[in-house]
Amino acid sequence: MPAGLIPRRVRPDTAERLPPDFYRLRGAFTAGRLGSALGAGALPLVAIVLVGASDLPVSLMVAGAGVAAAVIALPLGSKLSTLGGPVGGLLVAVSGTTTTLIIDSLGHLVSALGIRRIRTPETPPAHRNSDRGTAQGIEAGWTYLFAHPTLHRLFWNATLCGGSLVLISPLPALLVLRELGFPPWQYGLVLGLPGLGGLLGSWCAPRLVARFGEHTVLLGAGTLRTCWPGLIVLAGPGPLGLTVLLVAETLLLLCAGVFNPVFAAYRTNHTADDHMVRVGTAWSISAKCVQPAFIALGGVLAAALGVRAAIALAALALPASAAPLPWGGGHGDPRPGPDTGGNRSGLDESGADGVTGQRQPIT
């Protein structure tokens, strides 16, 4: 080959377009997730402004929505559904709650019709795990997780920080609409515009990692994301208060947008291949059980102490959640290399708990 010429990359003959039913499923799921995200801002607005619900019922409503979302959550279409927050907030601001809830319902209708168009029947699994086998797999994931020098630190960080943040999540609506007396369209701005900070953060994440390194970005963004909710307590009525809320929420989501993809990659890289699905399942179950409890706790605190006091308590607890991060550095990549072979899990690998080589995000 002449010097200076680079061979053109040829697409392998085996690379084919995915089946049409995959795209139908992806589109249906994305429509449902977008609908849920659009309605997320309207439901607290209806409960607070129209129904006049107290602090605790509003938080319990959000907790119930979190449980429902946890049951149907899948990785498909997650990037597109992140646009739902900003768009939903702007729809609330421009069109009001009725239009937003109608669009929410249409999103679920489109999702159902999309699933109805799927033609290929589901292939029965080669092995059917019993309930006991599934429970053993989850227990093995927890055992591996808590025995690992890095993963258990990441787990406690995610639990404490995520729990504190979701505890706060329904309270700004109560603060903005009830205590500060902002009109619904300004609540829509507070809900929607900061989401653009999250999108910007996720766009910046790989560039920051390339410049500063994965570990530095993990620690920096993981710490910075705990600093901003305290500003919410300082918000007062008028344009200055609205600005404080927008700045606090935008900086929080900007740092979280940087942290989340780096965090997901870091914990995946520190999970052995033969435990990837088990650890992912155990981690996901833990988060989806703990976070609704934190949301309900936020409602109890708001009812007993007031909205500002509840937000302040969570804001004070947030910086402590950065302590479990792996400040001493990583502990190496424990995943088996190509020459190690063997089964490191100590469990029966014949069970159909995942596809060989599968890389599922641990959420």
| Nearest to 260, CA basis, from 192, 317, 202, 318 | 202
The whole-angstrom separation of Cα 361 and Cα 335 is: 15
Q: Is residue 68 over pLDDT 80?
A: no
Higher pLDDT, 308 or 185: 308
pLDDT tens digits, one per residue of 249-306: 999 999 999 999 999 888 888 888 878 888 888 888 888 888 888 888 888 888 888 8
Instruction: Give the pLDDT of residue 60.
Output: 64
Q: With contact defined as beta carbons under 8 Å apart, do 219 and 209 qualify?
A: no
Average pLDDT of the residues in 99-113 = 75
The whole-angstrom separation of Cα 305 and Cα 299 is: 10
Q: Is residue 152 over pLDDT 60?
A: yes
| Nearest to 311, CA basis, from 169, 163, 190, 161 | 169
SS3 (DSSP) at 3: coil
Q: Is residue 20 over pLDDT 60?
A: yes
The whole-angstrom separation of Cα 223 and Cα 80 is: 27
Instruction: Give the pLDDT of residue 84.
Output: 60
pLDDT tens digits, one per residue of 214-251: 999 999 999 999 999 999 999 999 999 999 999 999 99
The whole-angstrom separation of Cα 302 and Cα 59 is: 9
Q: Is residue 80 over pLDDT 70?
A: no
Handedness of CA 210, 273, 159, 54 (dihedral sign): positive
Q: Which residues, in sequence order, are CB contacts of 129 under 8 Å at separation 6+?
A: 137, 351, 352, 353
Using a 10 angstrom Cβ sphere, with 0-12 exposed, 13-18 middle and 19 or more buried, the burial of residue 125 is exposed
Instruction: Give the pLDDT of residue 242.
Output: 93
Tell me the two tokens of residue 298: 């936020």
Instruction: Give the pLDDT of residue 156.
Output: 92
Higher pLDDT, 121 or 195: 195
